């Protein structure tokens, strides 16, 4: 008699007795599961697994398509492997490097395989990627997809995996050494091997929506739309953001740190404190340069915007100091103090308060006070009591002086509807971002949203009494708000500032891991908590005693000399 197990399928909302050892793809066919878009992965007890995963014990199973965040990550990772394989087959002396996300896709370049005889301090000129090369890469990707090549997950002793990848990529440093596991998993597609941080699709044939186009001095991997994965994301111009990425990438190359393995080696060689000092000095220099630009232009209003947990508040306080050095009297206001009373806050489609919308701000009152200040009048500034959900007045009066500049910090500060009738020449706009500038390795990038999510998890637990589960649960609404109300206006900025720090994940690790480990394993939020915990394992921990009290990181982990 065939042995069976009982699984609960969240898609059918019912229990099923199925053969022990059944694969997810067999289970999908047995139950006749169909989703709006093709099924590409599943949550098994809230962990992401590929469709070849075998079930031997009772489990909760939820099948996913690419419209889910977990499903999209699986799809894009697999696209990355097919792209890397295409480059390897066409240009075996080169390797693909996925640099960073940009323009709703991923910017990629080529680099030479390093000759083991080469001086490690000798910098090679990168290969020139021509339009013809990009066209050839795209055609080879189509060929690989048409062949529906199986993607096999394999596992071997770590020392053997290190040897294989060192031979394949001519690289002595390896992320596998950081993990400290006796065995490591990797992926094989025919004769091509690669490493990815999580599961991939069972074969290349699942990839039916993608594009590869020339972009700057490399190429742009275009991916499916996150809400309708049957079509591509629209390519958007992000020239200013691209320049910030490139600036920090050049800085990393000077430090000889491009990947996490480089960073970990530096830390093991007791160089972490030097990296902290250099990174903090770079931030200070950039803020001073922005202050000098403001002093030269002499605007009446400086707008500072950025997504949640990007460090807008710390940036405004540090800019305030640099402006004082330049002989300018800054007056900092937060748009959060102009929220409508909570009972008047607009609600989203689920009937929940929508704190992300610009309509959560009392715009008529805000505009009136800003115009009164610009006209030289004294105003009674509000303070928002977040405990009561009400705006209160505590006698905080303000009247701008001749040498004053008004600094307005807030989520919607770059939105043109905030102060539509203030002449552009009277304003200066700054966008604060968190652009991670190192990757796990050449083919595994770090999402720019992860650094902000980890910052928020630590801060909300430490200062606001929210568990990691509560913070993660609010993420979808926060992300929707940012996509609608923040990102469309970031290129409006006169200048962008990257508040991320190269050592940040290594410091956040110690704070975030115990908080994330508190998330119950039987809830939706565990999927994200588990993913973040797996991600943090790639970093060696770094003590924070050398981090200055004015650092952006202090806003989240504590020890800041600023009052928030």
Domains detected in the chain: 4-60 (3.10.20.30), 71-236 (3.30.980.10), 242-557 (3.40.50.300)
Neighbouring residues of 131: CB distance < 8 A, sequence distance ≥ 6: 214
Question: What pLDDT does 212 receive?
Answer: 98
Whether the per-residue pLDDT at 122 is higher than 60: the answer is no
Q: Dihedral (C-alpha) 546, 549, 550, 553: value to the nearest 10 degrees?
A: 70
Q: What global pTM score does this model have? A: 0.91
pLDDT digits (tens, 9 = 90+) for 161-171: 999 988 887 66
Question: Nearest CA to 60 among 6, 7, 5, 4?
Answer: 7
**Residue 477: count of CB within 10 angstroms of its CB:** 16
Average pLDDT over residues 143-171: 91
Residue 39 CA, distance from chain mean position: 25
Query: Residue 116's pLDDT is what?
Result: 46
**H helices present in 95-238, as ranges:** 131-146, 158-169, 176-179
267: closest CA among 511, 546, 534?
A: 546
Q: Are 13 and 22 in contact (CB under 8 A)?
A: no
Cβ proximity of 329 and 403 under 8 Å: yes
Q: Strands (DSSP E) along 32-174, which ranges?
A: 39-44, 47-49, 54-55, 60-65, 94-102, 105-112, 152-157
Asked whether residue 119 carries a pLDDT value surpassing 80, the answer given is no
Mind listing the pLDDT tens digit for each residue in 42-73?
A: 999 999 999 999 999 999 999 999 999 999 99
Q: Where are the alpha helices (DSSP H) in 386-443?
A: none
How far, in Å, CA of 300 to CA of 302, rounded? 7
Tokens of 392: 């209160």
Nearest of 187, 192, 89 to residue 133 by alpha carbon: 89
| CA dihedral sign of residues 501, 461, 557, 496 | positive
pLDDT, tens only, 299-309: 999 999 999 99
CB-based contact 104:162 (threshold 8 Å)? no
Q: Which helix (H) or strand (E) holds 495?
A: strand 495-498
Q: Whose CA is closest to 455, among 434, 432, 476?
A: 434
Q: Let me know if 253 is exposed, middle or buried by CB neighbors in 10 A (0-12, 13-18, 19+).
A: exposed
Helices and strands: H and E segment counts in the chain: 15, 21
pLDDT of residue 128: 87
Q: Cα separation of 251 and 246, whole Å?
A: 9
pLDDT tens track for 10-51: 999 999 999 999 999 999 999 999 999 999 999 999 999 999
pLDDT tops 60 at residue 178? yes
Distances (CA, A) of 442 to 96, 217, 533: 7, 17, 21
From the CA atom positions of the chain, what is the Rg in Å? 25
CA pair distance 509, 416, nearest whole angstrom: 38
pLDDT at 117: 42
Separation between Cα atoms, residue 277 and residue 335, nearest integer Å: 32
Residues, the chain, total?
Answer: 564
Question: Does 135 have pLDDT greater than 80?
Answer: yes
Q: Does the pLDDT of residue 385 top 60, yes or no?
A: yes
């Amino acid at each position: 008699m065939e042995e069976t197990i009982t699984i609960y399928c969240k898609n059918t909302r019912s229990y099923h007795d199925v053969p022990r050892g059944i694969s997810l793809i067999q289970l999908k066919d047995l139950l006749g599961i169909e989703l709006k878009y093709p099924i590409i992965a599943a949550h098994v007890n809230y962990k992401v697994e590929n469709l070849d995963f075998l079930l031997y014990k009772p489990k909760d199973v939820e099948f996913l398509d690419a419209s889910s965040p977990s499903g999209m990550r699986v799809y894009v990772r697999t696209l990355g492997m097919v792209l890397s394989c295409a480059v390897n087959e066409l240009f075996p002396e080169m390797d693909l490097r996925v640099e960073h996300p940009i323009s709703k896709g991923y910017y990629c370049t080529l680099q030479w395989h390093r000759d083991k005889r080469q001086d490690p301090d000798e910098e090679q000129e990168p290969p020139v990627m021509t339009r013809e090369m990009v066209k050839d890469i795209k055609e080879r990707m189509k060929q690989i997809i048409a062949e529906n090549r199986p993607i096999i997950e394999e596992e071997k002793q770590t020392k053997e995996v290190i040897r294989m990848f060192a031979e394949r990529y001519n690289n002595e440093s390896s992320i596998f050494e950081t993990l400290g596991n006796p065995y490591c998993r990797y992926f094989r597609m025919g004769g091509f091997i690669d490493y990815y941080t999580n599961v991939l699709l069972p074969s290349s044939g699942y990839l039916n929506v993608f594009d590869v186009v020339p972009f700057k001095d490399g190429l742009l991997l275009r991916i499916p739309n996150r809400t309708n994965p049957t079509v591509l994301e629209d390519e958007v111009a992000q020239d200013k953001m691209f320049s910030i990425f490139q600036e920090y990438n050049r800085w990393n190359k000077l430090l000889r740190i491009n990947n996490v393995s480089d960073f970990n080696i530096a830390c093991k060689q007791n160089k972490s404190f030097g990296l902290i000092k250099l990174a903090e000095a770079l931030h200070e220099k950039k803020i001073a340069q922005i202050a000098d630009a403001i002093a030269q232009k002499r605007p009446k209003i400086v707008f500072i915007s950025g997504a949640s947990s990007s460090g807008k508040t710390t940036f405004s306080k540090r800019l305030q100091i640099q402006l004082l050095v330049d002989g300018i009297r800054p007056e900092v206001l937060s748009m959060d103090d102009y929220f409508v009373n909570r009972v008047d806050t607009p609600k989203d489609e689920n009937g929940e308060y929508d704190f992300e919308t610009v309509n959560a701000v009392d715009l008529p009152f805000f505009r009136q006070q800003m115009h009164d200040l610009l006209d030289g009048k004294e105003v009674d500034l509000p303070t928002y009591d977040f405990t009561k959900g009400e705006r209160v007045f505590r006698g905080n009066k303000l009247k701008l002086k001749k040498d004053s500049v008004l600094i307005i910090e807030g989520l919607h500060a770059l939105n043109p509807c905030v102060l539509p009738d203030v002449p552009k020449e009277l304003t200066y706009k700054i966008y604060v971002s968190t652009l991670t500038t190192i990757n796990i390795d050449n083919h595994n990038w770090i999402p720019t949203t992860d650094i902000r999510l980890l910052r928020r998890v630590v801060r909300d637990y430490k200062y606001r009494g929210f568990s990691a589960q509560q913070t993660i649960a609010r993420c979808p609404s926060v992300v929707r708000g940012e996509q609608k109300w923040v990102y469309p206006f970031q290129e409006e900025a006169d200048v962008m500032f990257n508040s991320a720090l190269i050592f940040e994940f290594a410091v956040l690790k110690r704070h975030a891991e115990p908080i994330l480990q508190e998330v119950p394993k039987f809830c939706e939020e565990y999927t994200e908590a588990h993913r973040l915990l797996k991600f943090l394992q790639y970093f060696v921990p770094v003590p924070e005693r050398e981090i200055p009290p004015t650092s952006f990181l202090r806003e989240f982990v504590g020890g800041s000399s600023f009052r928030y």
